[in-house]
Structure 1
Amino acid sequence: MKDPKALLGENIKKHRLERKLSQEQLADLCSLHRTYVGSIERGERNVSLENIVLISKALGVSPSILLQGIS
């Protein structure tokens, strides 16, 4: 079973790249720091629900999309 933090990070990165956004652009849209977004994508952070919602809104997807594959 893959680490849930890593799966979340992969999902965020996938959707970010589909929208042709840099980590810095995504961070600006979410009012988060670029290094924080990078650490989320690398699976290093245990992200709060509030930040998952912020990121999902910036990416134009529902939070459940970012949590796909996590059981």
Structure 2
Amino acid sequence: MKNRLKVLRAERDWTQGDLANALEVSRQTVNAIETGKFDPSLPLAFKAARLFNLKIEDIFSDEN
């Protein structure tokens, strides 16, 4: 699954740790999601969307 988390995080000058704290997950989880090694759960995707004030589909998209 493609995502824009790294771009959105960089626009705010947040580290992966900052984003992890805001989402209440580990920095390793943020890294795995950003690099496409892990797809977030639906609740985590909703949490990220609320954090950035975007729709889930504005952050995450199917690779096809």
Q: TM-score range by the shorter chain?
A: 0.7 to 0.9
Unaligned runs of 5+ in 2: none
Identity percentage of aligned residues = 22
Q: Is contact 1:56–1:63 with CA below 8 Å preserved after alignment? A: yes
Paired residue for 1:12?
A: 5
Higher strand share: 2
Paired residue for 1:38?
A: 31
C-alpha RMSD of the superposition? 1.4
- 1:22-56: per-residue Cα shift (whole Å, max 9, x none)? 11001101111111000100100022111111112
After the TM superposition, list the runs of 4 or more consecutive aligned residues in structure 1 that deviate by more than 3 angstroms.
none
Q: Does 2:19 match 1:26?
A: yes
- Cα drift, residue 64 of structure 1: 2.0
Question: TM-score, normalization: structure 2?
Answer: 0.83
Higher helix share: 1
Q: Does 2:55 match 1:59?
A: no
Question: TM-score, normalization: structure 1?
Answer: 0.76
State the aligned residue count: 63
